[in-house]
Amino acid sequence: MMLIKELSKRTGLPIATLRHYENYGLFKGTSNDQVETNNYKNYDESLVEKIVLIKGAKEVGFSLSEIKELLDSWFSKQMTVDRKKAVVNKKIEEIDVKINQLK
């Protein structure tokens, strides 16, 4: 478990961005119910990989709502591998269209 400062260091994202993503529902930390004097949240090691995935998806043009939809389906095992590929390929096509428009 780590605090948001460590999560920021490990992912290369600013704390404000991580808080925005958390408020958007892309991931969540856990509070220690036994400690009532602070609002510190702890974040699991496994979030580093998930946040790197979010970061990469943002870099190639996915919106936060698209990322949320993908993550919800992806990690709940509701989406088949073929469907995952189709979603990613569709986004690649959209990016290719944008590139061609800019030429």
Alpha-carbon dihedral angle through residues 69, 85, 63, 23, given to the nearest 10 degrees: 40
pLDDT at 8: 95
CA distance 97 to 51: 27
Q: pLDDT tens digits for the chain (103 residues)?
A: 889 999 999 999 999 999 999 999 999 888 766 555 567 888 989 899 999 989 988 988 889 998 998 888 777 777 788 887 888 888 889 888 988 998 8
Q: Are 68 and 29 in contact (CB under 8 A)?
A: no
Please report, for the chain, the start and end positions of each structural domain, with discontinuous segments joined by +. Answer: 4-102
pLDDT at 74: 74
Q: Are 57 and 68 in contact (CB under 8 A)?
A: no
CATH number of 4-102: 1.10.1660.10
